[in-house]
Amino acid sequence: MRIVPFIISAIITTGLVLVLNTQLPVGESKTPRLGEFLSPQHGCWQNAEPYDMDFNAQLLFKDLTGQSTVYLDERLVPHIYAQNEHDAYFIQGFLHAKFRLWQMEFQTHAAAGRLSEILGEKSGGKDFLAIDKFFRRTGMVFGAENSLKAIEANAQTRAVADAYTQGVNAYILQLPDIKKPLEYKVLDYRPEPWTNLKTALFLKYMAWDLAGSGDYDFEMTNAKNVFSTIDIEKIYPLISDSVDPIVPRGTVYEVPSISPVVPASADSLYFSATDSIEPTLQIKPDDHNGSNNWAVAGTKTRSGSPILCNDPHLGLNMPGLWYEMQISTGTSNSYGATFPGAPAVIIGFNDSCAWGVTNAGRDVKDYFEISFRDSTMKEYWYNGQWVTTAFRDEVIKIKGQPNNVEHIAMTIYGPVIYDHVFANKLNNNKYYALRWKAHDGSNEIATFYGLNNAHNYNDYLQAISSFECPGQNFIFASKSGDIAIRQQGQFPAKWRRQGEFLMPGTDTLYNWQGYIPTSENMGMLNPARGFVSSANQITADSAYPYYLSGSFPVYRGKIINRRLGEMNNITPNMMMKLQTDNYNIFAEYALPLLLQYLKQDKLSAEASTYLEILKSWNLRNDVGEAGPTIFKIWWDEFEQATWGDEFAQTKLRLKWPDESTLEEAMAKDSTFKFADDIRTAENENFYDMASLSFSKTVIQLSNLQKADKMAWGNYKETGVRHLLGIPAFSRLNLPIGGGDNIINATRKDHGPSWRMIVSLSKNIEAYGVYPGGQSGNPGSRYYDSFVDTWAAGKYNQLLFVDKDEAADNKQMKWIINFSKS
């Protein structure tokens, strides 16, 4: 009779083995193989670091040329002291992989259109195959391949990239399965070797992430279906009346060396053309991706030395976007924020100078309509003849399914994104190719390598001269006393509104006619006002001889310039307060106008209560204030009341007007044309819209009050979210103020991703913080160790020391010795 229990036990055991070694479906997702994932010897438990983790190590690698020392300080920031550049960048790659490997690979998988490979076709409500198709069709891999050629054609940057890649792979080769980062175990896959192409892909991904402000060609073309040319000018003005540009108004410019010619057919084929497609899939970066940077001269500081500040505004993700590091190569000594996935310090300082960046917001992505002979797309009409189409076959691997092959037509402009088989909602046989500057070969590594090695203003100019895409405002300050800013990129010289709408692609007439020479990009050196700054506002006023295409916010630049103009005897602590300032300058302009138009004598008791809170608000978006919540909801309702009726005339997507457009209209004309609701017989104005929108606001506020969501911090719900959206690996509901149009530009999932302040005194004094931690391991106490400091508006002092000082510094906790094997 013992055989029966034995058989039952064997069946149960076999079933458990099968179940625990199978990915089980959970909705559209799947579990990891639970047996391996939960195994005490091999699974997730192996990723839990002891609180007193020992990071000391002696490491030997054949690719090193000598001996190097890395000190890890108490915040787990590495300080690399190498004898030469090769070993320094090898070690940087090794450490990036050691602490951020999964993040590096996941981001390059996203850029390469390879998410289906590790996440499956669909998971968590997302169609990863469609996302992969989009990125393949965008030409991300195509552009990275071209940039790789440029990187490897330059002996210096090839050596840097090769050393970095060797370091990443040295870590991967010695990584046992049981120590794989936790996300590999969750998703059940292994890391693959790093390549220089992956580094190029990562840099292209950042170019894409910063290209959202000009990517409205379809929406703007759709707007021509609804609005007249005159109305387009009112709704989408090129320059705000109130903007304070990066280069001050009144600056005199040289005669331009390029004068783009407007095609004779532009009125009929471009400005008046309204037929377009409605893509079912337009993946866009956050158009709030921007930044603040400024530098003040020694004449305005207490120390008499320049101070440089930078805080790039990007997605708030875990693991953190940045990785803090010091790199001493034997010829340079740099410190700052690095990108896991790319060599060198990206934003930081060295022994002589400091640098930072903000997004230029210039439009370098244009769509052209292609006329193919037939649906095979083998030939297209260009300059009066049929031209043979090239094709790229992009193979997309799908986890658990057969491969998908994207047969992508390549034209003189670039890849055809939208055609009769992909994402054409109207299915009207329209074909659109993308011309994007990032498709061209470029060498951004040369720029950051040059900045890491810069000693003076001329070195800075030389370093940034190689930077092509995306356009950036590079700021600079040096110990010698110079401060400077320059907008750098390779920008097409366009005629007025060229590329804002979909363009004909049948001949050369609508092509880019050349690039603005680098010497004619705008900049300033040591201005009399004692500071330079940028906050993504337009670079210059209408006196600049070239058309500035793109999208440019107004208000952060105004308040930064106002504050810096008022300040003297400046210290790093004063700069910390400025970087984290929550003053709402937009509300300073817009709220009095809303109150002016509101019919206050007809409000209910409840509405009057909210109005009194708003009137007594100090215009600061601090975490506990109710005023910013009321103002934000009211303004959103007011915008909807003003524009919503006109925009409802079409089901096609339109670009929403800038806030400054409506605020300036309110200040000029109470009978503004678009204040009238075209759906009614009455002739409404701003008085009607203010009251209507406030009544809708009161309804929302009543519900928020019941849910205890009136305080700005509770309403905004800022969080730093894991790249896979796993709540347990995220930090949610952080007590932090800020918001749109505010220096502290912190929103729900977006904001200052690295705050840095550098005083360029004899002994450099520097501070920084980012919302994350040095380790990418959720099981480490260094995973989110900076988040609370960041949310509180506080900073870490950056320990910038030479090797001898590091050996004696009590803040250094561990030593990793690297030697040639």
- Rounded CA-CA distance 60/349 in Å is 30
- Rounded CA-CA distance 39/33 in Å is 10
Query: What pLDDT, on a 0 to 100 scale, did the predictor assign at position 273?
Result: 86
What is the residue-averaged pLDDT of the chain? 93
| Across 43-47, 102-106, 169-173, 736-740, least confident range | 43-47
Q: What is the DSSP letter of 673?
A: G
Confidence of residue 761 (pLDDT cuts 50, 70, 90): very high
Q: In 3-state terms, what secondary structure has residue 435?
A: strand
Query: What pLDDT, on a 0 to 100 scale, did the predictor assign at position 284?
Result: 85
| Across 398-402, 430-434, 668-672, 740-744, least confident range | 668-672
- Rounded CA-CA distance 723/739 in Å is 22
- Rounded CA-CA distance 819/821 in Å is 6
- Rounded CA-CA distance 270/635 in Å is 34
Better-predicted residue by pLDDT, 341 or 276: 341
- Rounded CA-CA distance 264/271 in Å is 11
Confidence of residue 427 (pLDDT cuts 50, 70, 90): low
Confidence of residue 40 (pLDDT cuts 50, 70, 90): low
- Rounded CA-CA distance 801/193 in Å is 34
What percent of the chain has pLDDT above 90?
A: 87
Structure tokens at 558: 């105004």
Q: Residue 401: is its pLDDT beyond 80? A: yes
- Rounded CA-CA distance 66/60 in Å is 10
Task: Yes or no: say if 471 and 487 are a contact pair by the CB < 8 Å rule.
Answer: yes
Nearest 5 degrees, angle CA 709-CA 711-CA 717?
65
Confidence of residue 27 (pLDDT cuts 50, 70, 90): very low
What would the pLDDT profile of 126-168 be if each residue is shown by its tens digit?
Answer: 999 999 999 999 999 999 999 999 999 999 999 999 999 999 9
Strands 721-722 and 385-388, bridge-based pairing: unpaired
Domains, the chain: 585-713 (1.10.1400)
Q: Choose among 140, 195, 172, 168: nearest CA to 396.
A: 140
pTM for this prediction? 0.94
- For the chain, the first-to-last Cα distance in angstroms comes to 63
Write out the E strands in 340-496: 347-350, 353-359, 365-369, 379-382, 385-388, 390-398, 401-410, 416-418, 432-436, 472-478, 483-488
Query: What pLDDT, on a 0 to 100 scale, did the predictor assign at position 671?
Result: 87
What would the pLDDT profile of 441-467 be if each residue is shown by its tens digit?
Answer: 999 999 999 999 999 999 999 999 999
- Amino acid making up residue 561: N
Query: What pLDDT, on a 0 to 100 scale, did the predictor assign at position 772?
Result: 98
Q: Give me the phi and psi of 318, to 5 degrees please.
A: -120, 135
Q: Residue 664: is its pLDDT beyond 90? A: yes
- Rounded CA-CA distance 117/396 in Å is 7
Confidence of residue 39 (pLDDT cuts 50, 70, 90): low
- Amino acid making up residue 1: M
Query: What pLDDT, on a 0 to 100 scale, did the predictor assign at position 163?
Result: 98
Structure tokens at 543: 């006196």
Counting other chains too, the contacts that 511-518 makes at CB distance below 8 Å and 24 or more residues apart are 511/413, 512/366, 512/435, 513/258, 513/260, 513/261, 514/258, 514/260, 515/258, 515/490, 515/491, 516/256, 516/258, 516/491, 516/492, 516/546, 517/257, 517/258, 518/465, 518/488, 518/490
Q: Give me the phi and psi of 127, to 5 degrees please.
A: -95, 90
- Rounded CA-CA distance 203/342 in Å is 8
What would the pLDDT profile of 184-234 be if each residue is shown by its tens digit?
Answer: 999 999 999 999 999 999 999 999 988 766 789 999 999 998 999 999 999
Q: Residue 657: is its pLDDT beyond 50? A: yes
What would the pLDDT profile of 497-523 be if each residue is shown by its tens digit?
Answer: 999 999 999 999 999 999 999 999 999
503 beta partners: 368
- H/E segment holding residue 296: strand 290-296
Q: How many C-beta neighbours within 10 Å does residue 165 have?
A: 21
Q: How many C-beta neighbours within 10 Å does residue 745 have?
A: 22
- Amino acid making up residue 336: G
Task: Yes or no: say if 365 and 211 are a contact pair by the CB < 8 Å rule.
Answer: yes
Mean local confidence (pLDDT), 337-348: 98
- Rounded CA-CA distance 663/417 in Å is 37
Q: Choose among 214, 346, 351: nearest CA to 289.
A: 214
Mean local confidence (pLDDT), 283-310: 93
Distances (CA, A) of 324 to 92, 365, 503: 11, 32, 43
- Rounded CA-CA distance 99/181 in Å is 9
Q: Residue 531: is its pLDDT beyond 70? A: yes
Structure tokens at 808: 């004696």
What would the pLDDT profile of 556-589 be if each residue is shown by its tens digit?
Answer: 999 999 999 999 999 999 999 999 999 999 999 9
Q: Residue 21: is its pLDDT beyond 60? A: no
- Rounded CA-CA distance 142/195 in Å is 15
What would the pLDDT profile of 771-818 be if each residue is shown by its tens digit?
Answer: 999 999 999 999 999 999 999 999 999 999 999 999 999 999 999 999
Structure tokens at 240: 């705000």
SS (H, E, C) 199-252: HHHHHHHHHHHCCHHHCCHHHHHHHCCCCCHHHHHHHCCCCCCCCCCCCCCCCC
Query: What pLDDT, on a 0 to 100 scale, did the predictor assign at position 763?
Result: 95
Better-predicted residue by pLDDT, 725 or 34: 725
Task: Yes or no: say if 482 and 198 are a contact pair by the CB < 8 Å rule.
Answer: no
SS (H, E, C) 787-816: HHHHHCCCCEECCCCCHHHHHHCCCEEEEE
- H/E segment holding residue 698: helix 686-706
Confidence of residue 19 (pLDDT cuts 50, 70, 90): very low
Q: What is the DSSP letter of 583?
A: B
- Rounded CA-CA distance 21/297 in Å is 64
Counted residue by residue, the chain has a size of 821
Distances (CA, A) of 375 to 367, 395, 404, 546, 602: 19, 21, 20, 39, 62
